[in-house]
Amino acid sequence: MNADADSAATVRFLLDGEVTALTDIAPTRTVLQVLREDLGRTGSKEGCAEGDCGACTVVVAERHEGGVRYRAVNSCIQFAPSLDGKALITVESLKGPDGSLHPVQQAIVDGHASQCGFCTPGFVMSLFALFKTRSAPSRQEINDALAGNLCRCTGYRPIVDAAQVMYELARSIPEAKLDWMSAPAGSRSVAARGAEAEFAGRLADLERKDDLVIIHEGGAFHSPRTLSAFASLRERMPAARILAGGTDLGTWVTKQYRGLGDVLSIGSVAELKRTAVTATHIEIGAAVALTDAHLLLAEHYPGLDTLFRRFASPPIRNAGTLGGNIANGSPIGDSMPCLIALGATVVLNRGANRRELPLEALYLAYQRTAMEAGEFVSQVRVPLPQKESVFRAWKISKRFDQDISTLCGAFMLRLDGGGIAEARVAFGGMAATPRRAAACEAALTRRPWNEATRDAAMAALALDYQPIDDLRGTARYRMKVAQNLLRRLWLETGPGGGAVVTRLADLRGVLA
């Protein structure tokens, strides 16, 4: 590691205000390995090495819309090159120059919320990310922020309490002592804002003018910055592995000890990091993080909000991309059934050419897609909601937070008076690929939305799917639950059905 190194092959990032440079780094060396083994910073722990437990949580800061954006990620499955041009904040970074504890740490100590040495650093870093992104989170938002941090032995309540107290502690810090670390999101402190502007400036100085290219014995790593550069590399290297957020690929390396060979990273391609809302569509670039994609989609389809909160955890959603979820095409992935039901299309690029497919047409068989050699996913296009359309999606899994779906069902109905003009139904976890339920859709389309139609649609699901038995659920269970989701759809959207749901919600309110 050489702080002065400045070549196309050197990964450079800020750590505690200093530029840290990684030269000759294996592109699949994880951020956690760099921290613990190369830099001797052992505060971040390894619990699972697969993004599940949160013991390794760190915060990555980068320039965003003129300011700085802070996001928690799992350092165990992030590859070191992903830090290039950013700032890394670890649990060791939090204490003040005079040794004083950060408000997050102090709140944990005061509230007796410190637990074992494995989980606590991760909890602290998830809370720090929350501290820097929300000014007054609700208890629900705090729970959501901690969804990726597991404690296997004690309780979460003191930690959630500490999350509320940390803001009070920050407010009691004299203005002169506030800096960008100790000022929470939305702070009006002039000193803190000045310090943050300076921090943004230091990040701007790190911005790369050339592409990061690492040639290593395990394979070459290219991180181009434009779409055309990426597309032409992809054409030249069709066998190379595309790396987006690495939340799937990271586990290949850390759990299966697989090499990735040559890697093309899309993480720095500016055009692929954009979103847009046109007169007809929501457009999401392949390198847009799930966090941002979900926010935008749920703005237009509020029925997605709960499902997206249950998609992995904030650190996974901060690193992982919608494009990676779609390209990976896992039969139990959560985005695909939702997007298919919404009528989304996927844009595939090869060189200067592009073609657009209905998303369901991308999936040919288990782990086989219609992507041809040299092609890649560049964008997802989701139609804007139509008048009279209702959309619902539900994820069924054993745990509420941070769990893989047993199945996931998504339903879009366009209602016309008392009837269904159009129905799109898609499931994950019911077949070898995410798939539409053609027979079920036929049983719903151009029918009155009544109990007879509901029952026919439930029965038709048995023609659409022959689900498998596995550790997450038996075939019988999956079919029963899928059919019950149609019953739930009826309860929520059928004539008078909304009233049933409202009455249930009222009852829950009374019982709470």
Ligand X SMILES: Cc1cc2nc3c(=O)[nH]c(=O)nc-3n(C[C@H](O)[C@H](O)[C@H](O)COP(=O)(O)OP(=O)(O)OC[C@H]3O[C@@H](n4cnc5c(N)ncnc54)[C@H](O)[C@@H]3O)c2cc1C
Choice between 108 and 312, CB closer to ligand X = 312
Q: Which residues bind ligand X (CB under 6 A)?
A: 50-52, 241-249, 251, 266, 286, 290, 311-312, 316, 320-321, 323-325, 327-328, 333-335, 376-377, 404
Q: Residue 30, interface with ligand FES (CB under 6 A)? A: no
Q: Which does 286 bind (CB under 5 to 8 A by kind): ligand X, ligand FES, none?
A: ligand X
Least Å distance, CB 114 to ligand X, is: 25
Choice between 291 and 493, CB closer to ligand X = 291
Instruction: Please give the structure tokens belonging to residue 30.
Output: 């994880």
Choice between 44 and 405, CB closer to ligand FES = 44
Residue 308: which H helix or E strand, with range? Answer: helix 305-309
What DSSP letter does each residue of 85-126 carry, written as one string? TSEEE-GGG-S-TTSPPPHHHHHHHHTT----TTHHHHHHHH
Least Å distance, CB 256 to ligand X, is: 13
Q: Residue 72, interface with ligand FES (CB under 6 A)? A: no
Q: Which does 76 bind (CB under 5 to 8 A by kind): ligand FES, ligand X, none?
A: ligand FES
DSSP code of residue 303: G
Give the Cα separation of 135 and 133 in Å (integer).
7
Q: Residue 53, interface with ligand FES (CB under 6 A)? A: yes
Please count the residues of the chain.
Answer: 512
Choice between 154 and 502, CB closer to ligand FES = 154
Contacts (Cβ under 8 Å, ≥6 apart) of 282 = 275, 276, 296, 297, 300, 381, 382, 383, 384
Strands (E) in 203-280, as ranges, are 212-216, 219-223, 241-243, 263-265, 275-277
Binder of ligand FES out of 11, 15, 34, 54 (CB under 6 A): 54
Q: Residue 316, interface with ligand FES (CB under 6 A)? A: no
Give the Cα separation of 497 and 361 in Å (integer).
34
Least Å distance, CB 247 to ligand X, is: 3
Give the Cα separation of 232 and 351 in Å (integer).
5
Residue 204: which H helix or E strand, with range? Answer: helix 190-206
Amino acid at 179: D
Least Å distance, CB 133 to ligand FES, is: 20
Choice between 52 and 84, CB closer to ligand FES = 52
Q: Which does 223 bind (CB under 5 to 8 A by kind): ligand FES, ligand X, none?
A: none
What is the Cα 106 distance to its own chain's centre?
Answer: 29
Q: Which does 49 bind (CB under 5 to 8 A by kind): ligand X, ligand FES, none?
A: ligand FES
Binder of ligand FES out of 15, 26, 55, 130 (CB under 6 A): 55
Choice between 36 and 310, CB closer to ligand FES = 36
Choice between 334 and 441, CB closer to ligand X = 334
Choice between 50 and 211, CB closer to ligand X = 50
Task: Give the strand pairing for 407-416 and 419-428.
Answer: antiparallel
Q: Give residues 233-292 in contact with ligand FES (rule: CB under 6 A).
A: none
What is the Cα 269 distance to its own chain's centre?
Answer: 18
Q: Give residues 151-190 in contact with ligand FES (rule: CB under 6 A).
A: 151-154
Binder of ligand FES out of 9, 39, 42, 47 (CB under 6 A): 47
Q: Which does 377 bind (CB under 5 to 8 A by kind): ligand FES, ligand X, none?
A: ligand X
Give the Cα separation of 324 and 327 in Å (integer).
5
What DSSP letter does each residue of 341-369 carry, written as one string? HTT-EEEEEETTEEEEEEGGGGEEETTEE
Give the Cα separation of 267 and 269 in Å (integer).
6
Least Å distance, CB 323 to ligand X, is: 4
Choice between 48 and 475, CB closer to ligand FES = 48
Give the Cα separation of 290 and 308 in Å (integer).
9
Task: Give the strand pairing for 368-369 and 18-22.
Answer: unpaired
Least Å distance, CB 431 to ligand X, is: 15
Least Å distance, CB 121 to ligand FES, is: 10
Q: Residue 74, interface with ligand FES (CB under 6 A)? A: yes
Choice between 248 and 360, CB closer to ligand X = 248
Instruction: Please give the structure tokens belonging to residue 295.
Output: 């926010």
DSSP code of residue 282: E
Candidate ranges 98-106, 149-157, 188-196, 483-491; the one touching ligand FES (CB under 6 A): 149-157
Instruction: Please give the structure tokens belonging to residue 488.
Output: 């739930």
Q: Report the greatest alpha carbon distance in the chain.
A: 73
Q: What is the per-residue binding string for ligand FES in 97-116, x denoting contact by CB under 6 A?
A: ------------------xx
Yes or no: say if 396 and 488 are a contact pair by the CB < 8 Å rule: no
Yes or no: say if 298 and 287 are a contact pair by the CB < 8 Å rule: no
Q: Residue 346, interface with ligand FES (CB under 6 A)? A: no
CA distance from start to end of the chain: 56
Instruction: Please give the structure tokens belonging to residue 512.
Output: 């709470």
Choice between 181 and 282, CB closer to ligand X = 282
Task: Kindly list the residues in this chain that would bind ligand FES in the complex (CB under 6 A).
Answer: 46-49, 51-56, 74, 76, 115-116, 118-119, 151-154
